[in-house]
Amino acid sequence: MISGLIVYNAYDAKCNRFFINKCLELLNDETFSLKYVDEEKLLEYVSSNKVDFVIYRGRNYLLLEELENRGVKTFNNVITNKTANDKYLTYEFLKENELSYIETYLEPKPFPCIMKSVSGHGGQEVFFAKTIEEVNQIKTEHPNLKFIFQEFLENNGDVRIYVLNQKVIVSIKRKSQVDYRNNYSLGGEVELFEPSQEMVDTAIKVATLLKADFVGVDFLLTEDGYKIIELEDPVGSRMVYKLKPELDIIKQYVEHIKKNI
């Protein structure tokens, strides 16, 4: 029996029961055994139980390093998780590999600018600042956050391209009518989108360089073309099932996992 775990932190698990239950349904049979474990109890569980693989849906790459050191196969890998969940590391990765990016700074410039916590996700911990006074006020209100600063770019929404096993599965455009953030979780409207071949090739290049199993590549649609704004690991599936449930992207991910353990 090949034994595995699906792991979230306790808070995120409440919002992702569909993903968890779908994986549990598909990965419990005569060959595979899958259990859910809270991230906070992961190492304790691995220390006392046989675990061959972990579907990690958290953002702590140090846990993945420990798992890999113990010989546990992880989906995704350490480098994907570490790069995607630190926005400054994402910027450095994009720049180093000559991929499209928004110039990013550790100090507030230019104005107006977008302030982002390096570890934020889902549009959280993102702020619009017009002056240094506003920047300082936001820092005061959030003393424990480390920020990056990016130029605010007028845009026509953003696009998430889902890449599984270095193949584009689906692309979805998000556009908010009420906010500078286009996130679906914050009320952004969503629709299926046909990306250019250049965007497809770029998304595949990102996933290939990271050796990612399943990742989202987010593009901002500006007047001057697209800019990669973020990488998503773990990448959610709610938008996909809303717009194209017959695709069953979680099932495709599970099939990939079964072939690569």
The pLDDT value recorded for residue 179 is 53
pLDDT, position 241: 96
**What angle (nearest 5°) sits at the alpha carbon of residue 185, between those of residues 183 and 187?**
75
Parent domain of 54: 2-75
- Low-confidence spans in the chain with pLDDT less than 70: 123, 177-188
Is the same domain home to 146 and 206?
no
Same-domain status, 160 and 198: yes
pLDDT tens across 157-167, in order? Answer: 999 999 999 99
Q: Specify whether the CB–CB gap between 220 and 227 falls below 8 A.
A: yes
Domain stop point among 58, 75, 92: 75
* Same-domain pairing of 49 and 32: yes
- pLDDT score for 177: 61
What pLDDT shows up at residue 119? 87
- By CB atoms closer than 10 A (0-12, 13-18, 19+), residue 47 is exposed
What's the CATH code of the domain at 209?
3.30.470.20
pLDDT of residue 121: 76
In a domain, 95, yes or no: no
Residue 26 lies in a domain: yes
In terms of domains, do 108 and 162 share one?
Answer: no
Asked which of 92, 119, 151 is the last residue of a domain, the reply is 151
Q: What is the pLDDT of residues 52-103, one digit of tens each?
A: 999 999 999 999 999 999 999 999 999 999 999 999 999 999 999 999 999 9
Residues 184 and 241 in one domain: yes
As for how many domains the chain has, the answer is: 3
CATH code where residue 47 lies = 3.40.50.20
Strand ranges inside the chain, DSSP E: 2-8, 32-38, 53-56, 73-75, 104-105, 113-117, 126-129, 147-151, 155-164, 167-175, 189-192, 214-222, 225-232
Contact between 180 and 150 (Cβ < 8 Å): no
